[in-house]
Amino acid sequence: MERLQERLGNANRALTAFYEVVGNDKPSTVERDAAIQRFEFSFEVCWKAGKQFLFNVEGLDVGSPKGVIRSFREVGVLSENEAILGLQMADDRNLTVHTYNEDLAMEIYGRLQQYYNLLRAWANRMESRIK
């Protein structure tokens, strides 16, 4: 459980940093790219915390971000709609290497507030289940 607590702490710190940069309607390219970068590392630490949660709490060993998201739907932590958004979020995370494509970068940026809300809810639910 100590490793899970550590991973949840990392997720909360990343989400705090992510929150600082979401929601700007007219970001500069630097602000947009910084927000996408913070999304990337927030997603990474959250799915890894989820992986650890599934292992420690549910006894499941899941190895991929999409597998983790699907498993959280199966154990009732995420709703069907949240899981669908989570899978889209995983796809967008994989596309973030293409932020040089202005249209794609703005599309992903436009979804960051939703992704922040989902990641925050996911982290909060994990924490509430282990207390």
Please tell me the distance from the alpha carbon of residue 116 to that of residue 102, in angstroms, as a whole number: 21
Contact 82, 33 (CB under 8 A): no
Question: What's the pLDDT at 14?
Answer: 98
Please tell me the distance from the alpha carbon of residue 53 to that of residue 8, in angstroms, as a whole number: 9
62 SS3 class:
coil
What pTM did the predictor assign?
0.94
Query: How many other C-beta atoms lie within 10 A of the C-beta of residue 81?
Result: 10
Question: What's the pLDDT at 131?
Answer: 80
pLDDT digits (tens, 9 = 90+) for 61-94: 999 999 999 999 999 999 999 999 999 999 999 9
Helices 29-53 and 65-74 meet at what angle, rounded to 10? 60
- Could you give the domains of the chain? 2-130 (1.20.120.330)
Question: What's the pLDDT at 31?
Answer: 94
